[in-house]
Amino acid sequence: MKTKDNPYLKKKKMTNQIKALVFICLALLGLLIGWYWQTLLFAVIFYIAHEVFWSDHIFYDPKSDYQYQFENAVELPLAIENNQLRCVEKPASDLSLDTGLAAVKIKANWLGSIFDPYVEISDGNTTNRQYFERSVNGLRYLNISDWLKILLVGEHLTLNFKHCQPITDNNHKLTLFGFANPDIINKRIMIIAPHADDAELAAFGLYSQAKDVSIVTLTAGEVEQKDFQHVYPDPQQASILKGRLRAFDSIAVPAWGGVSKEQIVNLGYFCLRLKDMYEEQTKLVSSKTAGVDTTTVFREFNSFPLPTDGDNKATGENLLKDLQFLIEKYQPEVIVTPHLQLDPHQDHYYATQFIHQAVSEVSYSGIKYWLYYANHYVHTDMHPFGPPHTIASLAPNLNAEVKTPRVLSVPLSEKQQKDKVYALEMMHDLKRKTKLQKYFRVTLQNIFINRSPYKYGKDSYFFKCIKSNELFVVK
């Protein structure tokens, strides 16, 4: 997101510039009057404060309301009294809902600007937490799907707010948005992954439970090859090695989730080229880093031929032919693909544009539902908030024009969550070296505000994506 287009980022940038100027002035003053070790101590304290309190990648004002418009939700009034959440009126006995979001105004106290605020949700038997961004003060959605049946029979949930509190008055009415989704698990599902690991990050829990699932990865993932140049100093050879490894990952790792090899394919196109391929579909493109314009080198692990294997040129036309062939082959009832508005990654955006076009041009018409996910978020790279095994809810969205017909929360058992840990662990691209500054930041935050993201792996996805559920927008 560009700073010039966002008033909050402009203000944040100006504040950071003022902090830097004050720091420089005070440091120079200390040196001029001979306070050398005091100035050094001041610099260390300032650095720690910056890394612990001011370095979160929140590219929006946390005092803003999330702007979601639900089109197919059952709305029920809620009340919170003495930390007890209940339905104001007992719902109809035949109401069948699988996903529930409680719209609540959340306000952080002063500790909630230092520590991560959260709410602990419990029915006396099952307890979990949902986290929020620091300094939160706005409308948020509590994902209470795991306890929805309890609320619907007139029982209550216990909510314990830490470093924050709910605002309940005439201006902030509590509402339950409930969703009745189809039985997705028992339908034929096709997952579109722009890169190796996207299917696992977004939907490992979903596909490891599904009865009939296919996974289609569009690109080899050959860019950012520096970590492979200790094997091949030549950048192009290192890029080819990385692409082959990630293509293998995209085939092998889904087997860990129970998908048969005949249901998994990597199309072997190139990272960061989907936009060019979509906009000029007859144009031949080449890899930005591997020095090749043919998909052959990255298709060696597929278990069946694709219609463009003979031509094997990287063009948008060929990508569409491959997708159309696979739609006819697998005949999905559900397609899972990146969200066009919530996920800003260029390859993710054009992966969804390609699958939309492919579906519109095939004769098969059995696709009934679309599930949209976001592995990158337009307003922050920290969502879903909170440590592993906590609850994932709706992402920050400040655009009221983003339509959300339905929401589906897919629960993951403890075993499925831990299997997902190792699905990510097997992905080569999630084993990149941690930058020194990030390592210091994480260490300091662990010491001072009890954030400990390195429970399973160094990549931030091990912190964000190992949750007790996976969340999708359903159309």
Q: pLDDT tens for residues 104-160?
A: 999 999 999 999 999 999 999 999 999 999 999 999 999 999 999 999 888 999 999
Tell me the CATH number at 75: 2.60.120
Q: Tell me, what's the pLDDT at 245? A: 97
Same domain, 201 and 135: no
Same domain, 224 and 270: yes
CA 108 to mean position of chain CA atoms: 24
Last residue within a domain, chosen from 376, 406, 426: 376
Structure tokens at 465: 């994506």
**469 and 475 in contact (C-beta within 8 Å)?**
no
Kindly give, in sequence order, each residue whose CB lies less than 8 Å from that of residue 270, ignoring residues fewer than 6 positions away: 219, 220, 222, 285, 286, 287, 288, 290, 314
Tell me the CATH number at 240: 3.40.50.10320
172, pLDDT greater than 80: no
Same domain, 297 and 156: no
Q: Is residue 21 part of a domain?
A: yes
Same domain, 46 and 91: no
Q: Which residue, 59, 41, 63, 49, is CA-closest to 20?
A: 49
Pure H helices in 67-166: 148-152
CA 317 to mean position of chain CA atoms: 29
pLDDT class of 5 with cuts at 50, 70, 90: low
Strand partners of residue 410: 470
Q: Is residue 417 part of a domain?
A: no
**For residue 8, what are the domain limits?**
3-53
Same domain, 173 and 267: no
Residue 435 and residue 36: Cα distance in Å, rounded? 30
| Average pLDDT in the chain | 92
Q: Is residue 132 part of a domain?
A: yes
Q: Is residue 391 part of a domain?
A: no
Same domain, 24 and 159: no
DSSP per-residue codes, 16-60 = HHHHHHHHHHHHHHHHHTT-HHHHHHHHHHHHHHHHHHS---B-S
Same domain, 114 and 24: no
Q: What are phi and psi of 193, to 5 degrees?
A: -115, 115
Q: Please state, for a pLDDT cut of 90, what percent of the chain lies above it.
A: 74
369 compared with 32, residue with greater pLDDT? 369
Same domain, 229 and 256: yes
**141 and 119 in contact (C-beta within 8 Å)?**
no
Q: Tell me, what's the pLDDT at 94? A: 67
Strand partners of residue 373: 338
Residue 303 and residue 53: Cα distance in Å, rounded? 50
Residue 312 and residue 321: Cα distance in Å, rounded? 11
Which range has the worst mean pLDDT, 206-215, 299-308, 361-370, 429-438?
Answer: 429-438
Same domain, 267 and 363: yes
Q: Tell me, what's the pLDDT at 426? A: 95
Domain count for the chain, please give it.
Answer: 3
Q: In what order do the strands lie in the sheet with 334-338?
A: 264-269, 212-219, 188-193, 334-338, 369-373, 469-474, 406-411
326, pLDDT greater than 80: yes
CA distances from 335 to 109, 352, 366 (A): 42, 10, 11
**105 and 166 in contact (C-beta within 8 Å)?**
yes
Report the DSSP pairing between strands 403-404 and 69-70.
Answer: parallel
Same domain, 123 and 138: yes
Same domain, 131 and 46: no
**393 and 142 in contact (C-beta within 8 Å)?**
yes
**357 and 320 in contact (C-beta within 8 Å)?**
yes
Number of Cα atoms under 13 Å in the Cβ half of residue 297:
22
Q: Is residue 331 part of a domain?
A: yes
pLDDT class of 90 with cuts at 50, 70, 90: confident
Q: Is residue 421 part of a domain?
A: no
Same domain, 164 and 198: no
Q: Is residue 273 part of a domain?
A: yes
Q: Compute the Cα dihedral for 457, 342, 58, 139 and give only its sign.
A: negative
Last residue within a domain, chosen from 129, 145, 179: 179
**385 and 350 in contact (C-beta within 8 Å)?**
no
Q: Is residue 446 part of a domain?
A: no
Last residue within a domain, chosen from 376, 411, 441: 376
